[in-house]
Chain A
Amino acid sequence: MSFREKSAWISFVCLLLLTLGVVLSLHHPHDAQGNDVINPLHLALAIFVGFIVLQAVLHLIVAAQAPKEARTPKDERERFIELRAARIGFYSLVVGEVVAMAAFHAHGRVGMLMWTVLLAILIAWLIKLGSEIVLYRRG
């Protein structure tokens, strides 16, 4: 497996964990009075910092195993794969944003709009990375 494919896998898994973290943070615990046990902002920051640190550490480990390959700039096939995956991700984002707008139109809650837009971005990003992995696997 090439360094770029490993990198796509690392980003995919880390982003999947981030997305799960975001979904779980929507259901963070409340006390008997309905107040937040954990500050949602602190929780979001912790998840985001964890995502960046985990990605950086895993990339450093993989780059240390193949330093020459990691330093090599992307070639035309790798750039082509990235562009194709970005196009698939873009259309996924458009669909996600339309769903978010429809949900806002139906429920009219701004908070819900914010979360659906955020989830649409994360899912589109996951689809982009998943497409990259599939395209690398195909050759």
Chain B
Amino acid sequence: MSSLPIDNNIRRLRFEHGEMTQQALAEQVGVTRQTINAIELGKYSPSLEVAFRIAAAFSAPLEHVFQYRKPGEKQ
């Protein structure tokens, strides 16, 4: 369960990109696999640069990958 007010679709996008592994995505983005895992689980909020690099890896707009959840809004 995400503890940050930012949701993401990384797991689904990885699935849609031929079951891309966290390691493969991490290598494309230039971070460690553990960092991708932490972002995916909502435990770590990435910098804007890494967020854009993740979106670029999926050739998707940023808002398709990350969504801001307003205070009080359910997931």
Interface assignment of B69: CB less than 8 Å from any CB of chain A: no
User: Taking the nearest CB of chain B, how far is it from the CB of A6, in angstroms?
Assistant: 12
A16-24, A26-34, A74-82, A101-109: which lies at the interface: A74-82
**Option from A69, A76, A78, A136 in Cβ contact (under 8 Å) with B46:** A76
Q: How far is the CA of A78 from the CA of B44 in the complex (A)?
A: 11
Interface assignment of B47: CB less than 8 Å from any CB of chain A: yes
Q: How far is the CA of A136 from the CA of B35 in the complex (A)?
A: 10
Q: Which of B13-58 contact A (CB under 8 A)?
A: 30-35, 37-38, 41, 43-44, 46-47, 50
Q: How far is the CA of A2 from the CA of B33 in the complex (A)?
A: 9
**Option from A69, A77, A138 in Cβ contact (under 8 Å) with B35:** A77
Question: CB-CB < 8 A to A2: which residues of B?
Answer: 32-34
B34 and A76 contacting across the interface, CB-CB below 8 Å: no
A139 and B38 contacting across the interface, CB-CB below 8 Å: yes
B41 and A139 contacting across the interface, CB-CB below 8 Å: yes
User: Taking the nearest CB of chain A, how far is it from the CB of B63, in angstroms?
Assistant: 21
Q: Using a Cβ–Cβ cut-off of 8 Å, how many residues does chain A contribute to the interface with B?
A: 11
DSSP majority for the B interface?
loop
Question: CB-CB < 8 A to B32: which residues of A?
Answer: 2, 4, 69, 72, 75, 77-78
A77 and B31 contacting across the interface, CB-CB below 8 Å: yes
Question: CB-CB < 8 A to A76: which residues of B?
Answer: 31, 35, 46-47, 50
Q: How far is the CA of A7 from the CA of B58 in the complex (A)?
A: 32
User: Taking the nearest CB of chain A, how far is it from the CB of B2, in angstroms?
Assistant: 11
Which 3 pairs of residues, A with B, have the shortest CB-CB distance? A139-B43, A75-B31, A139-B38
Known contacts A77-B31, A77-B46; 5 further A-B pairs (Cβ under 8 A)? A2-B32, A2-B33, A76-B47, A78-B32, A136-B34
Q: What residues of chain A have their CB less than 8 Å away from a CB belonging to chain B? A: 2, 4, 69, 72, 75-78, 136, 138-139
Complex A-B: 10 CB contacts under 8 Å? A2-B33, A69-B32, A72-B32, A75-B30, A75-B35, A76-B31, A77-B32, A136-B34, A139-B34, A139-B44
